[in-house]
Structure 1
Amino acid sequence: MAPQHAPDTYKFGAFALDAETGALFCGGAPTLLGQRGAALLRTLLERASSPVSKDALMEAAWPGLNVEESNLTVQIAALRRALEQDGGGRWIETLPRRGYRYVGPPVTRVEANANEAAHRAALLVPVKPSVAVLPFEHSGEAAWFADGMVDDIITGLSRIRWLFVIARNSSFVWRDRVADVKQVGRDLGVRYILQGSVRRAADRLRINAQLVDAASGTHIWAERYDRTVGDSFALQDEIALAVVGAIEPSLRRAEVERIRRKRPDSLDAYELVLRAQPDVDSGMPDRAALALPQLEQALELDPSYALAHGLAAMSYHNRFLRAGLREEDRLASVRHARLAIEHGRDDALALTFAGFSLGMDAHDRQAAFAAFEAALALSPSTALAWILGSVVAGWAGQAERAIDWSERGMRLSPFDPWAFAAYDAQALGHFCRDRHEEAASAAYKSNLANPAHSITWVQLAASLAALGRLEEARAAAACVLELQPTFRIASQFAGVDCAAELASKLGRALRAAGLPE
């Protein structure tokens, strides 16, 4: 038997076409090119400068099929659009009534075995996090469900502004093949791989999903979903939304860990923002002081970086509310929030942080929920929009909305770094409705999720005092003052524009717990 050779790569100008995967790369980044388009481009490149008839092209892309000529026209137009990013829109010449001809830069055919290094060089991993979603393994009767769910997951991930997602036509090359994640990562030029399986038994479905680091092969996230077969489209939506919602914070944590290993003087704007993220997520002013210089450096590199503005707004909010209520911090929070909205109309996370600052620091709840709803319209899996929206609703005295939004956020991302805020909103909602046992339960969960955040202790102190457990309430109040020595009941309520009825109820409980007026 003749030895099998690894597929070739066709290099032309700034582009490279991987013959096996059908992926087109420009500057190391994959472009959206389907299998039929890849077959057409390969045929044109192999016969560079020579006319290729329409019949030959259609046989290359649709072998053995009788298709309308208009399909070829559509595919050629898509190829020209894909090549436009490097001035290649005119590299495919139309020959009226005859066919087409490639007239671009010289084509080099690189044999992968002879020059593996050159093959890999065409597949550099993009700077921002990149992911490929492989076809899920499935039993025969679950095939259409699995493919539909993967399509929905790819669509959901594609809405995450900071994430590079490989197109379905490229990742589905691995259908019915045993996929080695390290090889897939190299072939598609991605850092992360999402794979999974769908199994059906009678009226039960079991979906497994796992996110893997393609370089090391280590697992970053995994989950199993057991469901009863019912409305299949609704079930696809539910699972896809849950998977995307869980993956976003997991990917962020993985990226933060990766960037921590880099030299600080080598970081670009994206990496500076990610490095600042954990300090912003803490919610406390001392950590905000660490985050702000990195965010300011990122904005020097890219003044229109919407997420950097959003995180800066949150950092100034943390300083304003828990470090003296200084007016300059409040104004800086609102200013960065407005810049985040101006530059981030297509960035769900930037809109989320902006909405929070507008609601909490500008006391403009209408603008806040407009930003949250815009974020959710862009990316319904953005758990943080539900979570931070629940906090704004909680302080506004909108008890049921606070509880509902927080529960939605936690269903999407049960281990979110901002879980403490969701439980905090639940505590506020239950306290507002005089459900003090439920408020205390939520406050305990908030405190366990982030014991270094002073407001988690505020909610716990209030709930315990309302239940008559004054000794425990005073111990919680002591923790508030240890974390936030400047805490005063009236100024805190004024800072967040606490709803009058809620302020009255919380104030009585907090005074009973020993916190200063």
Structure 2
Amino acid sequence: MTSGSDIYKFGPFRLDPIAGILYRGDEPTMLGRRAVALMGRLLENAMTPVSKDALVEAAWGGLAVADNNLTVQIAALRRVLAKEDASTWIETIPRHGYRYVGPAIVANVPDTSATDQGASALALPDKPSIAVLPFSNLSGDPEQEYFADGMVDDIITGLARIKWLFVIARNSSFAYKGRTVDVKQVGRELGVRYVLEGSVRRSGGKLRVIGQMIDASTGAHVWAQRYDRSFGDIFAIQDEIALSAVGAIAPSMRNAEIERVRRKRPESLGAYDLALQAQPDVDSGMPEQVTRALTLLERAIAVEPAYALAHGNAAMCHHCLFLRAGLREANRAASIRHARLAILHGKDDAAALTLAGFSMGMDAHDRAAAFTALEAALAISPSSALTYILGSVILGWGGDAERAIEWSERGMRLSPFDPWAFAAFDAQAMSHFLRGRYEDSCRAAYKSVQANPAHSITYVQLAAALARLGRLDEARAAAARVLELQPSFRFGRQFAGVNCAQELASTLGDALRDAGLPE
């Protein structure tokens, strides 16, 4: 018997129980979570009868449900599987249950959907390029992982401020976390010449940091250094590593870039540490996690009221709660308040300006203020992938289709494996939809679903595109998935919440109505 967390491949299908998606080839089928859970239990016990009680437990937990509920879900599975000309996939065992009898199963298949994007080598940019990989945590304490990650994040932030340097975003660099990597392969997948890697050991008030830079085209070491310092010197170490990397790439330019790498940091290391601990929950975009992050961010702000990045992250948390947890005015107002404070205190902080700009555009409905902040962020940090990706979302909802596609593509080149890829693809999907390019919209929406199957908005664009293509059964299944993930979803309220452009709201609303989503 295999583990319920395995990814299964059988025939042309791939089932990911954690994501809750059954794929046919590279495209997700529109089965709901209960049908996927049933498929997972049948695959887990392949060729062995599974009782009705066991299947009900898998799909409905402890709920008492009528037999016809199970029958309906099994029928949905059979309809999807039958399209592949297999005579039998799921066999009925009279008075007992069901059994999977389809093609041979390969379990624990790696999910290659992210790495496939970089399977062919990306062309090198026309300027020096670098990726900073996650540093190894040698502290012997897994709880210090966030600290090692935060150090790398800050080094990337410093490097990204250099205008002549192409820097891969942190989110794509961290796709390699916990993996043994071939530096040459990293260079090909991310399209960079140089790779910086290292390790961190934190013990009490002492730090040991080792950094080394490698030329990914040859595998040759370009620079290496060890730093033994006190914890209070952390920002100085980060700057020295960034400047050493710059100096190794272009020695003649090093002095001119010293002041650009250095920037305002929080005065309190305690506030900095709290913000580092909050970051993974902020990035999740899920209401439960961002609520937890807000507790840490509010403590950081209490210690240091002018901490711009803490305000920017708090704005993003409240934005998430506003759109995904009830459209409450208090969350919208808090998002705007923290965004304004991030702009006030973060004139030299690209990340803070990016998050603030997003909140101003999406929650304050002030797109002029949003792009003033985003363009200021890009002036500070031209390699900021998140700025382009979040900007593409604002442009998409604002009806500026071609610019939205351009910004999303630029963001994805700077961060090919970005966890925010779903937002870039979502911007592309709505923009192609607005221009009547429904096949392109559908392809982009499928990519958005694959990148983040737990986010309801990814299925909204898919439902609309499928409806316009006349694939109404699939459109309605996508719409059902929206409501499964976000039962309170109403497209009229969503459009009002993000100040959707009138032309987009009209055409998108018609398609979503056809797909069966409530207004």
Q: TM-score range by the shorter chain?
A: 0.5 to 0.7
Equivalent residue pairs, number: 305
Q: Does 1:422 align with 2:424?
A: yes
Aligned to 2:358: 356
Residues in 2 aligned to 1:211 and 1:511: alpha-carbon distance in whole angstroms: 59
Residues in 1 aligned to 2:222 and 2:416: alpha-carbon distance in whole angstroms: 16
Query: Which of 87, 106, 129 is matched with 2:151 structurally?
Result: 129
Deviations 1:109-162 (A, max 9, x none): xxxxxxxxxxxxxxxx999626999xxxxxxxxxxxxxxx999699777x99xx
Residues in 2 aligned to 1:273 and 1:398: alpha-carbon distance in whole angstroms: 34
Conserved? CA contact 1:130–1:190, under 8 Å: no
Taking a change above 3 Å as real, the CA distance of residues 198 and 415 of structure 1, as seen in their structure-2 partners, is closer
1:63-82 alignment runs, 5 A limit: none
Residues in 2 aligned to 1:429 and 1:150: alpha-carbon distance in whole angstroms: 29
Higher RCO by CA contacts (8 Å cutoff, separation 6 or greater): 2
| Bigger CA radius of gyration | 1
Deviations 1:371-397 (A, max 9, x none): 000000001011000000000000000
Aligned to 2:457: 455
Query: Which of 369, 387, 390 is matched with 2:389 structurally?
Result: 387
Q: Does 1:514 align with 2:516?
A: yes
Residues in 2 aligned to 1:352 and 1:309: alpha-carbon distance in whole angstroms: 11
Residues in 2 aligned to 1:180 and 1:462: alpha-carbon distance in whole angstroms: 44
Amino acid at match of 1:424: D
TM-score by length of 1: 0.53
Residues in 2 aligned to 1:430 and 1:209: alpha-carbon distance in whole angstroms: 45
Conserved? CA contact 2:287–2:324, under 8 Å: yes
Aligned to 1:440: 442
Aligned to 1:260: none
Conserved? CA contact 1:181–1:214, under 8 Å: no
Amino acid at match of 1:465: A
Residues in 1 aligned to 2:416 and 2:290: alpha-carbon distance in whole angstroms: 24
Taking a change above 3 Å as real, the CA distance of residues 403 and 182 of structure 1, as seen in their structure-2 partners, is closer
The alpha-carbon deviation at position 414 of structure 1 amounts to 0.8
TM-score by length of 2: 0.53
Deviations 1:32-60 (A, max 9, x none): xxxxxxxxxxxxxxxxxxxxxxxxxxxxx
Q: Does 1:195 align with 2:217?
A: no
SS in 1 for 2:215: strand
Residues in 1 aligned to 2:406 and 2:412: alpha-carbon distance in whole angstroms: 10
Aligned to 2:375: 373
Residues in 2 aligned to 1:368 and 1:195: alpha-carbon distance in whole angstroms: 36
Residues in 1 aligned to 2:387 and 2:465: alpha-carbon distance in whole angstroms: 26
The alpha-carbon deviation at position 488 of structure 1 amounts to 0.7
Taking a change above 3 Å as real, the CA distance of residues 194 and 493 of structure 1, as seen in their structure-2 partners, is farther
Q: Does 1:498 align with 2:500?
A: yes
Conserved? CA contact 1:436–1:463, under 8 Å: yes
The alpha-carbon deviation at position 348 of structure 1 amounts to 0.3
Taking a change above 3 Å as real, the CA distance of residues 153 and 298 of structure 1, as seen in their structure-2 partners, is same
The alpha-carbon deviation at position 283 of structure 1 amounts to 2.4
Residues in 2 aligned to 1:314 and 1:392: alpha-carbon distance in whole angstroms: 14
1:90-239 alignment runs, 5 A limit: 129=151, 191=209, 193-197=211-215
Amino acid at match of 2:215: S
Stretch of structure 1 that moved more, 435-444 or 268-277: 268-277
Same amino acid, percent of matched pairs: 60
Conserved? CA contact 2:160–2:383, under 8 Å: no
Conserved? CA contact 1:184–1:214, under 8 Å: no
Aligned to 2:325: 323
Residues in 2 aligned to 1:423 and 1:268: alpha-carbon distance in whole angstroms: 37
Query: Which of 263, 268, 271 is matched with 1:269 structurally?
Result: 271
Aligned to 2:339: 337
Conserved? CA contact 2:271–2:303, under 8 Å: yes
Residues in 1 aligned to 2:280 and 2:485: alpha-carbon distance in whole angstroms: 18
SS in 2 for 1:193: strand
Aligned to 2:314: 312
Residues in 1 aligned to 2:381 and 2:333: alpha-carbon distance in whole angstroms: 28
Amino acid at match of 2:295: P
Query: Which of 403, 411, 414 is matched with 1:412 structurally?
Result: 414
Residues in 2 aligned to 1:320 and 1:131: alpha-carbon distance in whole angstroms: 27
Residues in 1 aligned to 2:160 and 2:343: alpha-carbon distance in whole angstroms: 31
Taking a change above 3 Å as real, the CA distance of residues 382 and 131 of structure 1, as seen in their structure-2 partners, is closer
Deviations 1:258-298 (A, max 9, x none): xxxxxxxxx93223223322222232323322221121122
Residues in 2 aligned to 1:151 and 1:490: alpha-carbon distance in whole angstroms: 40
Residues in 2 aligned to 1:507 and 1:337: alpha-carbon distance in whole angstroms: 30
Amino acid at match of 1:197: D
Taking a change above 3 Å as real, the CA distance of residues 192 and 512 of structure 1, as seen in their structure-2 partners, is farther
Residues in 2 aligned to 1:341 and 1:150: alpha-carbon distance in whole angstroms: 19
The alpha-carbon deviation at position 324 of structure 1 amounts to 1.5
Residues in 1 aligned to 2:360 and 2:197: alpha-carbon distance in whole angstroms: 47
SS in 1 for 2:211: strand
Residues in 2 aligned to 1:414 and 1:277: alpha-carbon distance in whole angstroms: 21
Aligned to 1:4: none
Taking a change above 3 Å as real, the CA distance of residues 373 and 208 of structure 1, as seen in their structure-2 partners, is farther
Conserved? CA contact 2:398–2:501, under 8 Å: yes
The alpha-carbon deviation at position 408 of structure 1 amounts to 0.2
Aligned to 1:91: none
Query: Which of 284, 287, 294 is matched with 1:285 structurally?
Result: 287
SS in 2 for 1:191: strand
Aligned to 1:21: none
Amino acid at match of 1:195: M
Conserved? CA contact 1:397–1:502, under 8 Å: yes
Taking a change above 3 Å as real, the CA distance of residues 132 and 473 of structure 1, as seen in their structure-2 partners, is closer
SS in 2 for 1:451: coil
For structure 1, list consecutive stretches of 5 or more residues without a partner in the other structure.
Answer: 1-124, 134-148, 161-178, 200-205, 216-235, 241-266
